Amino acid sequence: INTWLSSNNQDLSLGRMEAEAMHGLMIAQAGATENAETFFSGFCAGISRNESALAYALELEAMPSVLVGIISNTNAVHVRWLDEHVPELRSFDLVMMSNEISIYKPDPAVFRLALELLDVEAHNALFVDDAATNVAAAQALGMQGIVHSDWAITRPRIDAWLEKA
């Protein structure tokens, strides 16, 4: 299954393959269960809510001078899960899912689009991601960046950036 996902990741992440098509191919090529709900549930088994990160993001969103945007490299199956289990995403100023916009990180176009939609200059934006390559791509456009590994480290760094901004 991992080999199949690796070879089809681009189509999934860029929205060129919808959930049902992915399930059909997984049945044919990898012997996945024919029950769609069982398959989708298993495919999302590694996803969970991060209550503290979500609470912090909502706290930031409530600040009058702060815009919060989310950029995620994802696929239609995971977006379904997020829509159901993390409805708070609708509260944010911008949510961009790679499979819905056909661009994924670290493509500079995804950061340019986010900046344009939020109407923010790059030097006034902070990008936080757990992948250093994504942070480097945002920084190359003039954004500030933080590579996230642990909220005990990341949150104070965001707070310090906000104090300077």
pTM: 0.84
Residue 96 has phi, psi (to 5 degrees) of: -120, 115
Provide the 3-class DSSP secondary structure of residue 72. strand
Q: Tens digit of pLDDT for each residue in 67-114? A: 999 999 999 989 999 999 999 999 999 999 999 999 999 999 999 999
**DSSP for residue 126:** E
Q: Name the burial class of residue 4, with classes exposed (0-12), middle (13-18) and buried (19+) by CB atoms within 10 angstroms of its CB.
A: middle
Average pLDDT over residues 20-30: 74
Average pLDDT of every residue of the chain: 90
